[in-house]
Structure 1
Amino acid sequence: MKIFSKEQIYEGDKLTVERQNISSTDLMERAGAQIFKWMHIRLQGAQVPIHIFCGIGNNGGDGLVLARHLILDGYNVKIYVVNCSDKRSKDFLINYDRIKNVTKHWPTLLSCKEDFPEIHAEDIIVDAIFGIGLNRPVDNWVKDLFIHFKKTKAFTLSIDIPSGLQIDGVTKDEDAVVWAGYTLSFVVPKLVFFLPETAKYTIHWEVLDIGLDVNFLSETSAEAELIGKHEVLPLYIPRDKFSHKGQFGHSLIIGGSYGKIGAVILASRAALSSGAGLVSAYVPKCGYIPLQSSFPEAMVITDTNDEKIINMDFNIKPTVIGLGVGIGTDAETIKAVEGFLKKNKTPLVIDADGINILAQKKTLLKLLPKQTILTPHPKELERLIGKWTDDFDKLEKVKTYSKKYNLIIVIKGANTITVFQDKLYVNSTGNPGLATAGSGDVLTGIITGLISQGYHPLNASVFGVYLHGKSGDIAIEDYGYQSLIASHIIDYLGEAYKDLFKQPEQPQAQEEAVDNKK
């Protein structure tokens, strides 16, 4: 699913009006009617008080359309206009005028804190104050209104985006944004729904189809893409009946040090479980017995040193190499990594201390093969690119870094974002259970295993992140968040693959089956 910029959304509205030969007011009517349908399906005529707060722009116009439909259907509606400026949009004024035809009670104008209405916890608040066009801090009395919403503890539904939240920036004042229980986003989700500093402003979100021009939607290249099942299915490479292990490549995992051999075991197991034909592990001598005894499917090559890697000397020709898990940052190890990178031409996936070594010696970045994949967690990323002011600044710095060194960078988090050049791929799978030791090692192994099978590095990154999260989503059904461990992610990878081809259940068909049994 595409994630458009503010400018692209405006362009989509404009083209829809032109190509469908409708007015902007008609498009607003369509949007408001869709919100009404969403609410009506859930409320079914319930007479809970619905407080609709409208701004004086097009977002407020959407709120007025919604209010009119709710009133006509007999709902208990109270309308307020947040009178924060003298400028009113044309479509707002048209719908403001239409309200008088369906109710005796004109909207209440709010201009200061003393105007705020009483709202109970059992009521519903609809936030239609500011849309995606907001590019300035809100007035203090409007901020007080947002605080008032929060204090009531009433369910808050935001239209398109929580008011006060900018689509392309981070609001520093948490009280200057509406904290929504649900947001109904028109056409596509907003990038701010997925970033650590801004996702908190809406607990849930859903996309509403308001009938934008289909050619615009299909032909417009988005700045970001939300990755779900439908996006990764085309990436999947099926296997031929007569295929053999030699066709799925040889993954080599290089890493480990005394006390950190488990990282290599996890990454190696994940590489094989994701589909690599062969997996070898290059470890210090202390890792030989742990690997051979706990993971017999792997082949093991040992360094000359007992406790750390100092040579990186092997005589195999792997398809892809996963480097860095548990490897440490000892001076001799760094020297070995530098020597290896100077002669290596094999595709790389680099994680953990491999990234930390690159951060210490940035000259090594120029030695990396094109489209090498880095999988940093936040602190590793900071060591690599430096500090950032907010999430948008972070993304811009990562884009710049990706372009400068021709890297694919996987920013691990609640919504892991894969960055290549100027494009963002926002993952939709995963849960808090994945915040556990070794989870990143597993991800490294999965991506390495996918490249081994012939997946392009970018596709392997996007697909691997999805599978990693989906495996965790399935695993928590048995283990819950707290008890999920990294090994479980590997154990459920098969289920994640199978889920790609699982058809959603059809409620109507189920009901018919029940009726037939009767």
Structure 2
Amino acid sequence: MKILSAAQIYKADKFTIAKQQITSDALMERAALGIFNWMHERLQGNPIKIHLFCGIGNNGGDGLAIARHLKEHEYDVQVYVVNYSEKRSKDFLLNLNRLKERKLWPDFLDKEHHSFTIGPDDIVVDAIFGIGLNRSPSPWVRNLIQQINRSSAFVLSVDIPSGMFMDSVPEFPDNVVHANYVLSFQSPKLPFFLPQTAGYMNEWEILDIGLDQEYFANVEVDYHFVGKFEVLPFYKPRLKFTHKGTYGHALMIGGSYGKIGAVNLATRACLNVGAGLVTAYVPKCGYVPIQTGIPEAMVLTDAMENTISKIEIPFEPKAIGIGMGMGTKKEVITAFEGFLEKNTSKLVIDADGLNMLSQRPELLEKLPLGTVLTPHPKELERLVGPWGNDFEKLEKAKALSKNIGGVLVIKGAHTIIVANGTGYINSTGNPGMATAGSGDVLTGIITGLLAQDYEPLQAAIFGVYLHGLSGDITTSRAGYEAVTAGKIVGNIGTAFVELFRKDGNRNGQKTD
């Protein structure tokens, strides 16, 4: 699903109005009806008090139109016009007149008069500011927003929480409405997914208001939201007359004394995602744990007992995952550099591999095109330097991705994959996955997909989705606190089944 900027949303509105030969008021009516129908379906005439706070732009016009529909269905409605400017949009004025024709008189709030009372069991509809806001609200409006936030009422925001910016972080947290639910039109907004801004809402949902699909099909965007139907086309079905060699030989390099578990998890994940053959390259102390713990895997060992000192590979892997639990001792860095000098296989770098790159940034020049880096936020900061906010973080990640000609997987609550100047925001995963070894599992998954001839960007997007889906399945069975990386590995197969289950067929067989 494409994520549009504010400018692109305005263009989509204009394109729709021209193409469908409708008025801007008719488009506003679609939006208002969408939200009213959503509310009416859930409230079913419940006599609960509904407070609608409406700005004087088009977002406020949406709020006034919603109020009109609620009033016509005999809901207990109180409307407030937040009079923060002398300017009025024409569609706001049109809907204000319609409201007055129905004998529903709003309270006008301004700098001198902005008091109101909200009960703890009431509902607030927030339609003060929309996607066009680009500066902090006036002090008295901030006070009004804080009053809403201090109430215990359920808060429903129209399109975006009032006070939130589309492309920057609010200066003060209290400037933004904290919404229980956001009903957003046609496309999710980028700030819904970033750590510094996503906390202003508990849940969001997209309402289709009929913006013209020709515009959406042709517009180039900076970010996509990745769900099930975005990853399904990536899947490579298995054919009947194939063998283990068809699905590639992957190599997992890592481990040190006390940290062999990281390579174990990555190796198991690589096997579970479908790689035909998997070899683990570990220090000697890892031989017995890997050989006995993963009988399906082969093992190569370094000359040293407790750490990796020289990486010698007697075959050419289709894909390599490296860095998990390696440490960053001098001999490890020397081995890592020597490996990069000779490597021609597709590559995933994680954990200590990333830390070595940040210590020796000149090694970035030795990475093959299409290399996948999988940093968590602190590892990313070591690679690109500190950032002022999440939007700047994304721009720095794009620059690094372009510099190395590769793919960055920025791990987090909404993992974002960055390549070729575009970001892909994952929809799966949950807080239970914030557990030791979860990132090692992801490295194994992506490496296993690369071994099966998935392109690097496809492997990263599909791998992150499967990883999160496996985590969601694990959480549904174990709860957040009991999720472990090993359980996530164990549910990778179930994630594949779930991916296809509701669609009926996988490899020609019914799965429901």
TM-score range, shorter chain: over 0.9
2:424 & 2:351 partners in 1: Cα distance?
A: 21
| Conserved? CA contact 1:52–1:125, under 8 Å | yes
Q: Which residue of 1 aligns with 2:447?
A: 448
| Conserved? CA contact 2:136–2:171, under 8 Å | no
Q: The residue matched to 1:275 in structure 2 has which SS?
A: coil
Q: The residue matched to 2:372 in structure 1 has which SS?
A: strand
2:489 & 2:134 partners in 1: Cα distance?
A: 45
Paired letter, 1:501: F
The question of 1:346 aligning with 2:357 is answered: no
Q: Which residue of 2 aligns with 1:481?
A: 480
Q: How does 1:88-487 map to 2 (within 5 A)?
A: 88-103=88-103, 105-112=104-111, 114-487=113-486
Query: Once the 2 structures are TM-superposed, how far is the Cα of residue 29 of structure 1 from its aligned partner?
Result: 1.1
Q: The residue matched to 1:38 in structure 2 has which SS?
A: helix
- Of 459-468 and 235-244, the range deviating more from structure 2: 235-244
Query: Once the 2 structures are TM-superposed, how far is the Cα of residue 359 of structure 1 from its aligned partner?
Result: 0.4
1:115 & 1:394 partners in 2: Cα distance?
A: 38
| Conserved? CA contact 2:302–2:310, under 8 Å | yes
1:252 & 1:108 partners in 2: Cα distance?
A: 68
Q: Which residue of 1 aligns with 2:27?
A: 27
| Conserved? CA contact 2:84–2:110, under 8 Å | yes
2:338 & 2:451 partners in 1: Cα distance?
A: 23
Paired letter, 1:202: M
Query: Once the 2 structures are TM-superposed, how far is the Cα of residue 504 of structure 1 from its aligned partner?
Result: 7.7
Q: Which runs of 5+ in 1 are unaligned?
A: 506-518
1:407 & 1:242 partners in 2: Cα distance?
A: 33
1:243 & 1:499 partners in 2: Cα distance?
A: 24
1:182 & 1:326 partners in 2: Cα distance?
A: 41
1:20 & 1:114 partners in 2: Cα distance?
A: 42
Q: Which residue of 1 aligns with 2:83?
A: 83
Query: Once the 2 structures are TM-superposed, how far is the Cα of residue 113 of structure 1 from its aligned partner?
Result: 6.7
Paired letter, 1:90: K
1:140 & 1:459 partners in 2: Cα distance?
A: 47
Paired letter, 2:21: N
Q: 1:16-74 CA deviation, whole Å, 9 max, x = no partner? A: 01011111111111111111111100100111010000000000000011011111111
1:242 & 1:121 partners in 2: Cα distance?
A: 65
| Conserved? CA contact 2:52–2:80, under 8 Å | yes
1:440 & 1:84 partners in 2: Cα distance?
A: 47
After the TM superposition, which segments of 4 or more aligned residues of structure 1 sit over 4 Å from their partners? none
Q: The residue matched to 2:167 in structure 1 has which SS?
A: coil
Q: 1:378-417 CA deviation, whole Å, 9 max, x = no partner? A: 1111100000000000000001111111120000000000
Q: The residue matched to 1:301 in structure 2 has which SS?
A: strand
Query: Once the 2 structures are TM-superposed, how far is the Cα of residue 438 of structure 1 from its aligned partner?
Result: 0.3
Paired letter, 1:344: N
| Conserved? CA contact 2:114–2:144, under 8 Å | no
Q: Which runs of 5+ in 2 are unaligned?
A: 505-512
2:114 & 2:11 partners in 1: Cα distance?
A: 37
Query: Once the 2 structures are TM-superposed, how far is the Cα of residue 223 of structure 1 from its aligned partner?
Result: 1.4
Q: Which residue of 2 aligns with 1:48?
A: 48
Q: 1:71-108 CA deviation, whole Å, 9 max, x = no partner? A: 111111110000001111111111111111112x4110
2:283 & 2:295 partners in 1: Cα distance?
A: 17
1:400 & 1:454 partners in 2: Cα distance?
A: 26
1:218 & 1:66 partners in 2: Cα distance?
A: 30
Q: Which residue of 1 aligns with 2:9?
A: 9
Q: 1:265-288 CA deviation, whole Å, 9 max, x = no partner? A: 000000000000000010000100
Paired letter, 2:165: Q
Q: 1:259-309 CA deviation, whole Å, 9 max, x = no partner? A: 100000000000000000000010000100111111111100000000111
Q: The residue matched to 2:500 in structure 1 has which SS?
A: coil
1:466 & 1:131 partners in 2: Cα distance?
A: 31
1:113 & 1:309 partners in 2: Cα distance?
A: 71
What is the TM-score normalised by the length of structure 2?
Answer: 0.97
- Of 392-401 and 111-120, the range deviating more from structure 2: 111-120
Q: 1:489 to 1:113 in 2, by over 3 A?
A: farther
1:212 & 1:221 partners in 2: Cα distance?
A: 16
Q: The residue matched to 1:115 in structure 2 has which SS?
A: coil
Query: Once the 2 structures are TM-superposed, how far is the Cα of residue 222 of structure 1 from its aligned partner?
Result: 2.0
- Of 121-130 and 476-485, the range deviating more from structure 2: 476-485
2:46 & 2:491 partners in 1: Cα distance?
A: 43
2:115 & 2:348 partners in 1: Cα distance?
A: 56
Q: 1:89 to 1:151 in 2, by over 3 A?
A: same
Identity between Structure 1 and Structure 2 (%): 56
2:293 & 2:328 partners in 1: Cα distance?
A: 26
What is the TM-score normalised by the length of structure 1?
Answer: 0.96
Q: Which residue of 1 aligns with 2:507?
A: none
Paired letter, 1:124: I
2:398 & 2:420 partners in 1: Cα distance?
A: 5
Paired letter, 2:69: H
| Conserved? CA contact 1:436–1:484, under 8 Å | yes
Counting matched residue pairs gives 504
Q: The residue matched to 1:181 in structure 2 has which SS?
A: strand
| Conserved? CA contact 1:80–1:108, under 8 Å | yes
Q: 1:333-375 CA deviation, whole Å, 9 max, x = no partner? A: 1011111111111110000000000000011000000010000
1:173 & 1:242 partners in 2: Cα distance?
A: 61
Paired letter, 2:23: S
Query: Once the 2 structures are TM-superposed, how far is the Cα of residue 163 of structure 1 from its aligned partner?
Result: 0.2
